[in-house]
Amino acid sequence: MTTIYTTLLYLIQPLIWLRLWLRGRKAPAYRKRWAERYGFCAGKVSPGGILLHSVSVGETLAAVPLVRALRHRYPTLPITVTTMTPTGSERAQSAFGKDVHHVYLPYDLPGAVHRFLNTVDPRLVIIMETELWPNLIKALHDRQIPLVIANARLSARSAAGYKKLGKFMRRLLQRITLIAAQNEEDGARFIELGLKRSQLAITGSLKFDISVTPELAARAVTLRRQWAPRRPVWIATSTHEGEESMMLEAHRRLLSHFPDLLLILVPRHPERFESAREMTQKSGFSYTLRSSGEIPSSGTQVVIGDTMGELMLLYGIADLAFVGGSLVERGGHNPLEPAAHAIPVLMGPHTFNFKDICSKLKQADGLITVTDTASLVHEIGNLLVDDDYRRYHGRHAVEVLHQNQGALQRLLQLLEPYLPPRNH
């Protein structure tokens, strides 16, 4: 099975190059750093430390508190963070700066994986959520390098797909040192696929272990005073194709009742920034781009968030937030970031990427579900009119966040046996 998988992976390499090149038309970063994708990273990393892989933006954000805690606990150990996408890469660089090394994780080809591991030579590898690369897992097992899957989740649909792989899947899972699953349900699915109970721990979700730092809160207050000292502000983030037009239409309808309302529109991917700008312009709105550094005037109706790594700051300016990827079938993005600012959170019905988190928020009145433009306008109108109602939803959202924290401490304890003793 591994041979078939590896052969296919070699055969599709020309298609992968073509895809990277085509994606590079909209996002030039896809055409850069190809050598890293084949394990050539000499001079970019320091060997002998911790390797942490987070495939893209969501996983990188969940990894931020973990990386900071590891830096604090093991200050002499180098940390290398790998991603697969340019957006994940930008987020890693903006979150960690020079504190950690950053390269792309190579494709799961034996030669590339060995070249990469020879250079990085990690003493511990942590993979965020569920990225199961057979050749990487085998190479780590052969080299006796512990591998921990942190914040692991496994949907029923993914589990059904993996189940078809039978013995191959069982062997793969048994080569993993430890899986730290988000909840019992996810854990049970891994067991069913062949993981031993001794390899499983339930930690809760790391996504709850975020907080608004005093520095961030201060920056948000300053920006709010500059941008909208006496205006209501709503933010629509992580929007996908089809959602920006809905947000702009909702904003148009809301302006007839709240003429000084400001919308901050933040598309999910950098390649959508320009089309969001064009749409906003065609709709006749007065707008500014966040990247311009321009302070919105009292006549500015839309700010387009066309920068990376500023989402938590921009949430801090808003009175309420819509989180995208949820009115179109993308499974939604992280509702806990706005919740951390104690503002109401609105999402569409498609939230399968955050099923557990969204159901907790929904049960506690910390999440409002909308189904289309009309219901979005209706709910935002209610929240803007009634300060108590708005505070009620914001308070309940942040309470859910606080009640479910603790996964980070549990995970750090589980990692201790694989790392050098700490100087307390």
Give the domains, in start order, of the chain with CATH numbers.
28-209+406-418 (3.40.50.11720), 214-404 (3.40.50.2000)
Q: Give the sheet arrangement for strand 79-83, strand by strand.
A: 101-104, 79-83, 50-53, 124-128, 147-152, 178-181, 200-202
Measured CA to CA, the distance from residue 4 to residue 396 in angstroms comes to 51
- Looking at the DSSP bridge assignments, the partners of residue 51 are 80, 125
How is residue 201 written in tokens?
A: 């721990």
- Looking at the DSSP bridge assignments, the partners of residue 149 are 127, 179
- What does the pLDDT read at residue 405? 95
3-state SS, residue 263:
strand
Divide the 424 residues of the chain into consecutive groups of 10 and give the mean pLDDT of each group: 93 95 90 95 94 86 90 94 88 84 96 98 95 95 97 90 93 97 94 96 93 94 97 98 97 98 95 95 97 96 93 97 97 96 98 91 98 98 98 98 96 96 71
CA dihedral 160, 162, 165, 170 (to 10 degrees): -120
Classify residue 284 by its DSSP letter: T
For residue 218, the tally of other CB atoms under 10 A from its CB is 11
3-state SS, residue 103:
strand
Cβ neighbours for 106, distance < 8 A, ≥ 6 positions apart: 36, 37, 38, 39, 112, 113, 115, 116
Give yes or no: 59 in active site: yes
Q: H or E element: which one contains 169? A: helix 166-174
- β-pairing, 124-128 vs 50-53, is parallel
- What does the pLDDT read at residue 423? 65
- What does the pLDDT read at residue 289? 98
Measured CA to CA, the distance from residue 75 to residue 50 in angstroms comes to 11
Given the residues 36, 59, 243, 337, select the one marked as catalytic: 59
Q: Which residue has the tokens 């699953």?
A: 181
Backbone angles phi, psi at 128, to 5 degrees: -80, 135
